[in-house]
Amino acid sequence: MATTTGTASKPVSLPKSYRKSVWLLLGEALLWILLIGIAIIEIAPISWMVSTSLRDPKNSFDLPPDFWPTALHWQNYVAVINSPDIEFMLFFWNSLKIALIVTGAQLLTCSMAGYAFGRLRFFGRDILFGLFLASLMVPATVTLIPSFIIIRSLDLMNTHWALILPSVTSAFGVFLLRQHFKSLPEELLDAAKIDGAGYFRIYWQILLPLTGPALSALGIFTFLASWNNFVGPLLFLRDWDKFTFPIAIATIRGYMGSGNQSEVLAGIMISIFPLLVFFLLAQRWIVQGAAITGMKG
Amino acid sequence: MTSTALSEDRVDRQATPQRSKALARREALAGYLFATPALLGLLVFTALPIVASLILIFLHYDLLTPPKWAGAENVTRLATDSRMFKIYWNTLRLTVGVTLFNNVLGLLLAVGLNRAMPWGLRYVLRTSIFFPVMTTTASLAVVWRFLLTQDRGVVNFLIGQIGLDPVPWLSSSAWALVSAMIYDVWKSCGYLMVIYLAGLQGIPAVYYEAARIDGAGFWQQFRNVTLPLISPTAFFAIVISLIGAFQIFDNVWVLTEGGPGDASRVIAMYIYEKAFRGFEMGYASAVSFTLFIILIALTLLQFLGARRWVHYE
């Protein structure tokens, strides 16, 4: 602390209780045990999944369980990918395609509306923004049934549009970006206007580059929410060739889970592998983003 | 864009009334254009559904035959739906359980992780605890289904090693809801940890220094510095935990399928099943509105109650 360094030259005699008491040590020890214990509990199911997905299928139910791979039976992964009944890599493509489109669309629509509500003056602005805020209170469970009827009457059942269109924008994203745009200094925009920048150039070349962290946080969590979405595909998709990972895995478990645990786990590993890589690469941003936005995948 | 007109106007603030009016019109036009895509999405997929579900409450509609007027039948039926009350009771127990454990654990983990430690250790701990948050709820529920199997499940094997009897995690009505709770805490406590960690890092270190000089120990610092200053974060975290927990669906749908019987069925599942298995759109909408009212009431209550325990600097 800059303010304390100046005055800290005089040695301060600390009261006795500041010295590490038994209670302090005990508290600290408990905290460490909790931290390490929970970390082990959090990671154990995942390391069990990795190890078991690499076991020979005929040993896949054997006990004791492995938490570290003892076999490297990659054939399970090959079997899942080359399965004759189901095109597993098609799920990957479906999930990726939908998540990318939804993320791109949301970043665009939310940032545009965020600019309008945060930086432009027009009649009815506050009422319209109030609508967005109010809709934050509406739980997804409530809009599920009418959304189904709307999608059905638009004749979009069993298409990927049924998953994309309802997620094209989000009230939360509009709110988040509006707050960020609003917090930028007015002088910056004035300067741009003096230089002759129009509304679109101000939005595209000044505001967007300055809100990188908020945009990337929104992008990351929109992508995750789409990748992990379960209710949408459960409701709207019927055919295997349209399925995304979560619904495909829940369905595969139904008819082959009891027979071959290792192959089902290999399938799950393939479906979360992109998340794992992404997380290890971008952990800092993801963790910060979770704190900024209060969203989760 | 007539940029020269725009820039002149900006330089010379004393613009003529006509010119500034034209400018205001242009700005308004830009405002509407920029807001339109999001507004359309909001209208079609949030506003319209809310109005539609309000209307649906007063209809009998099975998707196949045209809707019929039902009057208040769907609403009065709510009062006599004893199955719904049982399912709400499950939902409430699950919600209270996961909110409590996620927040207490999240805060303690954040306090632990916020202490001085080697960079690598912090990285490993944070990665391990946060990673489950990123994974797919439905898919990891499949993994936990394998883990919690009664006969050859890993969890029962491990508790057998310390001499305990196998627990029917998923097949007994006493344990099914507990299993859903365990799974949710496993999946989400890392998320709460991250939120609390951000809150803790916002507390200026001078407060702790002052407390230490006054002789405050670990517990006193936690009680008198951390807790009051983390209360706005805790308020936010508890509100979003409660709203999320009341709507838990994927977790139970895959893990226990609501069973055995209705022992672990939750309200979001009940709404889904009434609508898309029983094709009672009207009644399902009525049930979903009870959930809406409960969530709104809960949020308002918390905002009112927050005055008593949330301290803003």
Residue B67 lies in a domain: no
Q: Residues B291, B245: one domain?
A: yes
CB B188, CB B101: distance < 8 Å: no
In-domain check, residue B6: no
- Give the pLDDT confidence score for residue B17 in this predicted structure: 66
**Distance, CA of A87 to CA of A73 (rounded, Å):** 21
> A203: which residues sit within 8 A by CB, 6+ positions away?
A111, A112, A115, B34
Q: Under a CB-based contact definition with an 8 Å cutoff, are residues A232 and A157 in contact?
A: no
Q: Which of A143, A197, A268 sits opposite B142 (nearest CB)?
A: A268
Tokens 């990673």, residue located: B131
B143 and B37 within one domain: no
Question: CB distance A122–B27 less than 8 Å?
Answer: yes
Kindly state the percentage of chain B with pLDDT values over 90. Answer: 35
Binary contact (A120, B194; C-beta < 8 A): no
The Cα–Cα gap between A120 and A124 comes to 11
Shortest Cα distance from B308 to chain A (angstroms)?
A: 23
Residues B184 and B233 grouped into a single domain: yes
Domain residue limits at B39? 12-56
B297: in domain:
yes
Percent of chain A residues topping a pLDDT of 70: 88
Q: Chain A partners of B129 at a C-beta cutoff of 8 Å?
A: 38-39, 42
Burial A195-226 (b: 16+ CB within 10 A, else e): ebbbbebbbeebbbebbeebbbbbbbbbbbbb
Identity of the residue in A49, A194, A296 whose CB atom sits nearest the CB atom of B143? A49
Provide Rg for chain B, Cα atoms: 26
In contact, A166 and A148? CB cutoff 8 Å: no
Q: Is A268 on the interface with B (CB under 8 A)?
A: yes
Residues B257 and B158 in one domain: yes
**CA distance linking residue A25 with residue A295, whole number of Å:** 36
Q: In one letter, which amino acid is B277? A: R
Residue A150 to residue B49, Cβ atoms within 8 A: yes
For residue B281, give the nearest of A4, A145, A264 by CB distance.
Answer: A145
Q: Please state the pTM of the whole predicted model.
A: 0.85
Q: What is the mean pLDDT of chain B?
A: 86
For residues B167 and B261, membership in a common domain is answered with: yes
> What SS3 string covers A43-55?
HHHHHHHHHHHCC
Specify if B205 maps to a domain: yes
Chain B CB contacts of A113 below 8 Å: 34-35, 37-39
Q: Are residues B43 and B181 in the same domain?
A: no
**ipTM for the predicted complex:** 0.82
Strands B59-60 and B68-69: antiparallel
Instruction: Name which of B26, B136, B156, B256 to mutate to probe chain A: the one with the most chain A Cβ atoms within 10 A of its Cβ.
Output: B136
Chain B touched by A165 (CB under 8 Å): yes
Q: Residues with Cβ < 8 Å from B38, sequence gap 6 or more? A: A109, A110, A112, A113, A132, A169, A174
Residue B24 domain-assigned (yes or no): yes
Residue A264 is predicted with a pLDDT of 84
Q: Among all residues of chain A, which has the CA nearest to that of B113?
A: A35
Shared-domain flag, residues B35 and B180:
no
Residue B196 sits in the same domain as residue B247:
yes
Same domain, B206 and B108: yes
The confidence band for A20, taking pLDDT boundaries of 50, 70 and 90, is low
- pLDDT tens-digit readout, A207-220: 888 888 888 888 88
Mark whether B150 and B25 lie in a shared domain. Answer: no
Domain count of the fold of chain B:
2
A152 touches chain B (CB under 8 A): yes
Mutation for B interface: A3, A145, A269, most B CBs within 10 A = A145
Contact between A290 and B195 using a beta-carbon 8 Å cutoff:
yes
Instruction: Give the whole-angstrom CA distance, residue B285 versus residue B291.
Output: 10
Q: Which two tokens stand for residue B207?
A: 């407060």
User: Do the beta carbons of residue A23 and residue B218 sit within 8 Å?
Assistant: yes
- Give B30→chain A minimum CA distance, Å: 7
Cβ distance A122 to B45 less than 8 Å, yes or no, reads no
From chain A, the residues in CB contact with B191 under 8 A are 290, 296
- Other beta carbons less than 10 A from residue A228's beta carbon: 25
Residues B16 and B86 in one domain: no
Q: Output the domain CATH number for residue B205.
A: 1.10.3720.10
Instruction: State the pLDDT at residue B5.
Output: 44
Q: Using CB atoms and an 8 Å cut-off, which of residues 19-78 of chain A contact chain B?
A: 21, 23-24, 27-28, 31-32, 34-36, 38-43, 45-46, 48-49, 61, 63-65
Q: Which pLDDT score, from 0 to 100, does residue B264 have?
A: 92
Q: Does B3 map to a domain?
A: no
Asked whether residue B1 is domain-assigned, the answer is no
Residue B257 makes CB contacts below 8 A (sequence gap 6+) with none
pLDDT in tens, B214-257: 887 777 888 888 888 888 888 888 888 888 899 999 999 999 98
Region A48-64 average pLDDT: 78
Q: Which residues of B touch A66 (CB under 8 A)?
A: none
Which residue segments constitute the domains of chain A, with CATH numbers given?
23-73 (no CATH), 88-293 (1.10.3720.10)
Q: How far is CA B28 from CA A35, A125, B261, in A?
A: 54, 9, 58
As a whole number of angstroms, the distance between CA B313 and CA B309 comes to: 13
Tens-digit pLDDT profile for chain B (313 aa)? 344 444 444 444 455 667 688 888 888 999 999 999 999 999 998 889 989 889 999 988 888 888 888 888 889 898 899 999 999 999 999 999 999 999 999 999 998 888 878 888 888 898 889 889 888 888 899 899 889 987 778 888 888 888 888 888 888 888 999 999 999 999 999 989 988 888 888 888 888 888 888 887 777 888 888 888 888 888 888 888 888 899 999 999 999 988 788 999 999 999 999 999 989 999 999 999 999 999 888 888 888 877 777 776 5
Nearest CA in chain B to A20: B217
User: Position A260: which residue type?
Assistant: N
Q: Please give the pLDDT value at position A1.
A: 35
pLDDT in tens, A75-122: 778 877 877 777 788 888 999 999 999 999 999 999 999 999 988 899
B44 and B187 housed in the same domain = no
The band of A8, judged by pLDDT with boundaries at 50, 70 and 90, is: very low
Between B27, B53, B198, which is nearest A146 by CB? B53
**Angle of helix A125-135 versus helix A88-119 axis, rounded to 10:** 140
Q: Is residue B66 part of a domain?
A: no
Query: What is the model's pLDDT at position B4?
Result: 42
